[in-house]
Structures are given as C-alpha cells and as structure tokens.
Structure 1
C-alpha cells in the first residue's frame, strides 16, 4: 500500500485556500495556531475562559469574513485580531465593573434593609440577563452610549457606523431592556 505524502502548506497558501472556502485549510490554520493564540490571549487577559472565548471568536470571524479579508501575513493577522479582541474583552469587563460599582454606589444605603438589598441584587441580575439577550453589536453600542456616556455621533465615529445605525441599535436595546425591567418600573401617581 502506497501512502501519499502532502507537504505542509505555507501560511500564504492556507490564506489563499481560505478565500476559496477550503475547510481543510481552515482546520489546518486552527490546528496550527490555536494553542499559540490561546497562550497569547491568556497572557493578556489572565482569564482562561475569556482567553478561550476570545480565540473562538477570532476563528469564527476568520471563517465568516474569509472572502472579505485580504490576509498578507496570516500569523500577524491572527495575533492582531486576538490583541484587538482582548482589548474589547478588557473594555467590556471594565464597563461591567463600572456598572456594578455605579449600582452599588447609587442604590446601596447604609440604612438599606434586607428586602431592599435583595431587590437590588435581583435588579442587577435582571439587568445582566437583559444585556446578554442583546445582539453583540447592539450591546456594544448600548454600553458605549449609556454606560460610557458617548453621544450618538461619538459612538458612530468610534465604531465607523452611520448615526442612524447607532440610533436603531439604541432603540432596540432600550425596548429589550424596558421589557426585561418592566417589573421594576415604579409608576408615579395616586
């Protein structure tokens, strides 16, 4: 029985094959780079779960955007993509931490009773759940606008999207948030 030997492809050949929807090329890229990229992400995030999610997102993006990306240097492209996703992850973690701190500073009173503390914890859980229900782009726009305090124009410039797109995503986010938080809305009046 004769075994055929195929020499390993170079990165530029793999990138070119990826443009032609070659799943074997994608698998080879994944197998070749996953461990190295994971170690790199872990060194930046110091969070195993965050590093794994970051690498998975990079590879999903690589496949989904395979026809749109011009990849001249596969290794550089992947490391830059991981670096950018790590920055996004850290930014999201900081926003979440600021949001939690804001809730605690705003609502926690020294005289607050057990019932109020439980209600605050429940409110925080509902807010976190409602944020997770938002599509990624909508969540990102909502955080930049409502938690970071950027204007529609500033969000538009930061994400390189039209202002109407930002407005659309904000309207969608607010609708979802209102739906999730309707049990916590206090109606005024007699």
Structure 2
C-alpha cells in the first residue's frame, strides 16, 4: 500500500474509466445528432406542406378559371342597344308642372350626359350611362353602378316586337334623387302614356 492514499490503477480501488472531456464529447455528439434529426424532420414536413399548398392553389386557380367571370361577355353587352341621349326639353314645352330634371350624369365616370352622346339604358332599372363607361363596367361586373341591381340584357324579342321597337324612338327617363325622395320626369308625351 502506498502512503499517500491514492489507489493504484492495478489495485481494485475506484478508478475512473472515462474522462470528463470524453463525456462532454459524447453528450455534444448526441445533441448535434438529435438536432440534425429534428431539423431534417421539420424540413421534410415543410416540403410536404408546401407541395400540398401548391396543389390547393393550382386547384383553386383552375376552379376560378372554369367559373364564369363576374361580368357580362361582349355579346351580352351588345344586346343592350345604344342610342343618342336627349334632354328633357319636351316636358317643359308641354307646360308640365313637374320639376325639370337637373343635368343627368354618368355614375361610372361622373361626367355629365350631353345631348347627342351615345348612351345605354340598363333594361332592369332604367339607369342611363355613357356607352363606353357602362361597357367597361359590365365587362367586370354584372350589376348596375347606381342601384346594384342585376344587369341583364333584354330577352330576345319576337320579330313583331323588334319591328315595333325599331319604329319608336328611344326615350330616356331622367331621375333626380334627393335623399330618400325620388322624383322622375319622363320625355314621353302625355298622350302616349297608357
């Protein structure tokens, strides 16, 4: 036995089999391996989710492409006949007591409708707009810019109705709106009303 109290390596005493640096190296290696496995798992999961997102996006684009666009096509817009705008001078000439219509304006461009400009009147709500303005509007939306009513072209008429419509001049009914009150004046002669 030795006098200093340390056990000799060959004696059956409690010697260390591993050094502290070896334990730290094993722990660091285990941590790095676990970290790499977690990062690889997250990366693979991200790739799978990204592929699923792209598949959904492609499917949504295809569905949107197959759906009809929200506006009217050019053929449907062409079914709404354009005509030259006329002011409400007829009502004043007859001596009517109705309030004369203020200068009508296009609700799309907010420009005044001038005498002789080509306009379109929507069949459902009878609102009037510049031809170019309402054509652009209807190409992207199938609703009236004023009342949001459904803008549909008129139904195809029979041959007799088309001949009668061609012989009668188109007239415009201007509408003045003051708050909740609505006053309308018509350019049709009083005797021709039914």
TM-score by length of 2: 0.28
Structure having the higher Rg: 2
Higher RCO structure, 1 or 2 (CA under 8 Å, sep 6+): 2
Structure (1/2) with the larger strand percentage:
2
Structure (1/2) with the larger helix percentage:
1
TM-score by length of 1: 0.28
